[in-house]
Amino acid sequence: MDNSLIKGSPIKGIIFFSIPLFLGNIFQQIYTMSDTLIVGRAVGVNALAAVGATGGLSFLIIGFAQGMTTGLSIITAQDFGNGNLRGVKKSFANSIWICAGMSVILTIISVSLARPLLQVMQTPAVLLNGAETFISILFAGVTVTMFFNLFSNMLRALGNSRTPLIFLIIAAVLNVILDIVLIIGLNFGIAGAGIATVVAQLVSCIMCIWYIKRRIPELNVTRADMKIDRAIIKQELKIGLPMGFQASIIAIGSIILQVSLNELGPQSIAAYTAAGKVDQLATQPMVSLGITMATFTAQNFGAKNYDRILIGIRQCLTVTVVYSVIIAAVIILNSHALVNLFIGNSEPHVTELAQTYFWVVSTSYFLLSILFVVRYALQGLGQSFAPTMAGVAELISRIFIGAVMVPMFGFISACFASPLAWLASNAVLIVSFFRTIRNLRGASGLKREIPINDKKE
């Protein structure tokens, strides 16, 4: 497999590894947007709104699956960096058992609670049945989602970020084709969108299994490897569960904020949504660099390249902060045109609100860039406590803004939700981060084991 993260220029390896992740994130957005676009045009506005109403709830469960499988791959990446191929097989095998068990639990809970959760989110009655149909199908396919993310993250743990991108592109294209066939051709309506998404992921999952069996001997497990090892499972859950819960915590905060935002009226919702779409695209490079840092630090920690970890963190922070400043300037200078891509020129008040959003959020991108690098670097080193507490701090911040500030001060308060959450999260992480840096500096060049434990803070 690719050893570019533990050899050569750290920042070069980080950037080249992150490019497929960035492209994959873009196609992931296409993957989810195709349902929305085709449903809206073929079925109608209410169907479009029904799909849109499931966004936060979908991320609550599916985000957990994505986060947890990323955490499970950390131990595998550390074993790979250490040259422990036996450990790679064992960690992968036990991850399969964890995902199988978690898939059953998530499927039962999410499908049975889909409608009650939609009602708690104050989904309009006219949208409720359609939203329940769509999200229930997605939740019924949680097992497929879980294993596709597991296989993709395991390939990345071994330094291969290109192959998951290829499979994701295939899934995105297939999803669009199936949307057209099922929704337009067979008149399946909103259910067709859900089925298309699950089937596309299933095909990608099968391709991952085929590729691993044919090309990745490090992940070809035997019956002996599949024997449950409680120590490995405990170690993997220690990292995987907090990363999964962290994604869910962020989703909960977003849902609470959305409920408060809904009370401000259609124009505020439209402005926040349009600006948020630009936001998602602009921050993808920061997201990709952050995820790369988890694999980078995990592999180099396993290889005891402590000095390389320090260099990589410093260089990545420099690159991502510089990018955050540049992209913020680009967005603010072109905010009017960017917003009008979504809403046209007929809603000047919406455009004005969106510009306010950009002035508040985009100028705070540097906080997000630091957060991604620091949080994922700590997680790659096997830490879980501080990143989890950072997620809790982020949740508290968003609840405070949504429940207290938005009713009092309106739209401008909603704009401060993300910057405040990023600031709170960084404040929690900073103690663990500097403590970890001291440990790495002390061990740099000595090639000895060092304790990376954040529970004592």
DSSP single-letter state for residue 168: H
Task: Give the torsion through C-alpha atoms of 346, 350, 355, 361, to 10 deg.
Answer: -140
* Residue 32: predicted pLDDT: 66
| DSSP output for 7-73 | SS-HHHHHHHHHHHHHHHHHHHHHHHHHHHHHHHHHT-HHHHHHHHTTHHHHHHHHHHHHHHHHHHH
Q: How far apart are the first and last CA of the chain?
A: 37
Q: Measured between alpha carbons, how far is residue 393 from residues 65, 388, 435 in Å? A: 21, 9, 20
Q: Give the predicted TM-score (pTM) of the model.
A: 0.81
Q: 139 with 276: CB under 8 angstroms?
A: no
CB 24 within 8 A of CB 155: no
Q: Which residues of 201-234 are buried (b: 16+ CB within 10 A; e: fewer)?
A: bbbbbebbeebbeeebebbebeeebeeebeebbe
Q: Are 182 and 160 in contact (CB under 8 A)?
A: no
C-alpha–C-alpha distance, residues 184 and 1, integer Å: 43
- Average confidence (pLDDT) per 10 residues, the chain, 457 residues: 76 91 78 66 69 76 86 90 89 95 93 88 79 91 93 91 88 88 86 90 93 91 89 90 81 76 70 76 90 91 90 96 95 82 66 87 95 93 88 88 85 90 94 90 62 49
Kindly state the tokens that stand for 333: 């200078």
- Distance separating alpha carbons of residues 131 and 121, to the nearest angstrom: 12
Rounded Cα–Cα distance for residues 98 and 393 (Å): 28
Each residue's pLDDT tens digit, 41-100: 677 767 766 776 677 788 788 888 888 998 899 989 988 888 888 889 999 999 999 999
Which helix or strand (DSSP H or E) is residue 453 part of? none
Please check whether residue 77 is in contact with residue 239, taking contact to mean a CB–CB distance below 8 angstroms.
no
- pLDDT of 187 reads 85
* Per-residue pLDDT, 445: 56
5 neighbors 306 (Cβ within 8 angstroms): no
SS3 360: helix
Give 212's Cβ-side CA count (13 Å radius). 25
DSSP-based three-state secondary structure for 436: helix
- 3-state SS, residue 143: helix
Q: Cα angle at 151 between 313 and 191, to 5 degrees?
A: 115
- For helices 230-262 and 417-443, give the axis angle rounded to 10 degrees: 150
- How far is C-alpha 127 from the chain's CA centre? 27
What does the alpha-carbon distance between residue 446 and residue 27 come to, in Å, rounded to a whole number? Answer: 42
For residue 247, the tally of other CB atoms under 10 A from its CB is: 22
